[in-house]
Amino acid sequence: MAYSSSAWFDATQCISYRYLPCIDGKSQDPTLMSRDETIIKYNESRCIVYQFLPCPDGLKSLSLMYNNGSSKDPSTSCQNQTALATVLQTKSNCESNLTNCLGQKDNVTIELKNMANDWEIRYNKVVIEKKFLSDYMVSVWDTRIIDEEAEKAKPIKDRMQDYIRYSVARLGLHELVDVPKLKPTFGVVYNDILSFQYPINTPGCYKNGSASSRFPSLFVAVTGLATDNNQKRRDEIRTLFKKEIPELKHNLFSSINYAFFLGQPGDLVHQSLIEQESDKNKDVVQVDMMDNGKNDSLKLAAIFNWVQQFCTNVDVVFKMDENFEIATLKKFGSALTEKEIPDTFVYGVKGDIRPQREAGKRMITMEEFPWTTFPAYFNGLAYFITGNMIVPLMAAFQTVPMLPLEDVYLGICIIKSDMKRYTYCGRDINNSPCF
């Protein structure tokens, strides 16, 4: 017998339950249930439906209350526990089955009590995590501040785990039990990053090279906002790429593919422009999510999911923003010629570890991130990553609560994925020898 681990519960109330006909744990008529009720499978043809209600006088919290207002309790009516017509006709048959009826009632009572115990355990865990949250928030809102020296002395993985615990408690996240875990050892899944839809798509990568090729394959993911009328800038990048790719393919890469990743603009005018751009260039991928500038971490996860589906086994992924002024693959290729691409590798310019608290594009509130420094991360305007790290980072995306700043979020996920080797190439993205 199973129940929903994500159902909201109140350990101060009582549990009202009743029985409902169903098939394999699912009601065939949803109108028989209210939105406050949760259904669990009892047997192949019957379910238990329960909800939390205020306890009547005299009953302790989490006490069980049978609700006979909608259906008959099979524990008090043998007719509801048998499909034999003869049982419905004779008192003696009913009496002979009374023991079985009562036994099934006992089993249901035990199961519901076990559920109540489990809810109480999870309730206590929530209380503990809320205490962890409040400790940090007091340090933010009160006159005290977080002891940054003590924070810096912590191992980097402990700091990452503090962020996860804090954000799970702050956002009230629940485990997504139905989402497959890419790496079970990474822990609880909070984000579903495997269900993205791409209403506008490209054929994906082609000619990714072979195991015998001495050159790696490259995919370039260019990100932008669908709400910005930025097609002119994307056309400039297309022109530059088409000029540079033939030379790079001859000297450095076995194949080069690229695509422009956009979300949904939310209005028909911009959507029509995106569709026209896609029809003309065949290089636009649209993610089924709103493009508002605050969910860039979610879009990053969608890009990695797309690469895993449509560009499998690519060796190097170069991610760049369409507003990156130095959008040249040639300089990027030159940087790669000077460095051997190891099995696990990220390469880019180091980002500013000081959170921006004042209003602006990169503002992040004290509530969202109460620490005074970010973990080290790569500036999100441009960086490259080896293809074998796509799945480990996707597994990290599943288990790490998201931040509005996608490059900072990637930095935390790099720690979570246990990436062994990465290189920072300066601090000034516009004057870096990397790109």
Fill in the DSSP letter of residue 361: T
Of residues 260 and 38, which shows the higher confidence score?
260
Residue spans of alpha helices (H) in 216-353: 231-251, 268-281, 296-310, 329-337
* Token representation of residue 286: 């649209």
Number of C-beta neighbours around residue 339 at 10 A? 12
Residue spans of alpha helices (H) in 147-230: 148-153, 156-171
Per the CB < 8 A criterion, the answer to whether 225 and 262 are in contact is: yes
pLDDT for residue 171: 86
Predicted confidence band at 340 (pLDDT cuts at 50, 70, 90)?
low
Fill in the DSSP letter of residue 386: E
* Token representation of residue 366: 């004290």
User: What's the half-sphere exposure (Cβ side, CA atoms, 13 Å) at 275?
Assistant: 8
Of residues 401 and 249, which shows the higher confidence score?
401
Predicted confidence band at 433 (pLDDT cuts at 50, 70, 90)?
low
Each residue's pLDDT tens digit, 107-155: 666 666 676 666 666 656 656 665 666 565 555 544 445 566 776 677 8
Domain boundary assignment for the chain: 14-117, 191-431
SS3 helix, strand, coil % of the chain, rounded to 5?
Answer: 40, 15, 45
Q: How far apart are CA 263 and CA 302, in angstroms?
A: 10
For the segment 214-243, the average pLDDT, to the nearest whole number, is 90
Per the CB < 8 A criterion, the answer to whether 25 and 38 are in contact is: no
Q: How far apart are CA 348 and CA 225, in angstroms?
A: 22
Cα 412 to chain centroid, rounded: 14
For the segment 4-12, the average pLDDT, to the nearest whole number, is 46
Of residues 285 and 56, which shows the higher confidence score?
285
Nearest alpha carbon to residue 194 among 315, 337, 302: 302
- Domain covering 191-431 in this structure, CATH number: 3.90.550.10
- pLDDT, averaged across the chain: 78
pLDDT for residue 298: 96
Q: Which residues pair with 290 in a beta bridge?
A: 264
pLDDT for residue 169: 83
Q: Which residue has the tokens 């994500």?
A: 6
Q: How far apart are CA 292 and CA 124, in angstroms?
A: 37
Q: Which residue has the tokens 């260019």?
A: 222
Q: How far apart are CA 336 and CA 343, in angstroms?
A: 14
Of residues 404 and 435, which shows the higher confidence score?
404
pTM: 0.68
Cα 13 to chain centroid, rounded: 31
Q: Judging by beta carbons within 10 Å of its beta carbon (0-12, 13-18, 19+), is residue 63 exposed, middle or buried?
A: middle
Q: Judging by beta carbons within 10 Å of its beta carbon (0-12, 13-18, 19+), is residue 372 exposed, middle or buried?
A: middle
Backbone angles phi, psi at 407, to 5 degrees: -75, -40
Per the CB < 8 A criterion, the answer to whether 394 and 309 are in contact is: no
Nearest alpha carbon to residue 254 among 213, 295, 282: 213
Fill in the DSSP letter of residue 313: T
Each residue's pLDDT tens digit, 385-425: 989 899 999 999 999 999 999 999 999 999 999 886 667 67
Question: Which span out of 74-83, 194-203, 238-247, 334-343 was modeled with the highest average pLDDT?
Answer: 194-203
Predicted confidence band at 58 (pLDDT cuts at 50, 70, 90)?
confident
Per the CB < 8 A criterion, the answer to whether 274 and 262 are in contact is: yes
Q: How far apart are CA 247 and CA 162, in angstroms?
A: 47
For the segment 344-349, the average pLDDT, to the nearest whole number, is 77
Nearest alpha carbon to residue 204 among 282, 297, 275: 282
Q: Which helix (H) or strand (E) holds 133?
A: helix 98-141
pLDDT for residue 9: 47
Q: How far apart are CA 181 and CA 396, in angstroms?
A: 10
Per the CB < 8 A criterion, the answer to whether 377 and 416 are in contact is: no
Question: Which span out of 8-12, 102-106, 108-112, 164-168 was modeled with the highest average pLDDT?
Answer: 164-168
pLDDT for residue 26: 77
Q: How far apart are CA 334 and CA 354, in angstroms?
A: 31
Measure Cα distances from 415 to 19, 188, 412, 420 in Å.
48, 16, 5, 9
What is the gyration radius of the CA atoms in the chain, in angstroms?
28
Per the CB < 8 A criterion, the answer to whether 305 and 193 are in contact is: yes
Largest CA distance in the chain: 93
Per the CB < 8 A criterion, the answer to whether 138 and 144 are in contact is: yes
Residue 22 has pLDDT above 50, yes or no: yes
pLDDT for residue 321: 93
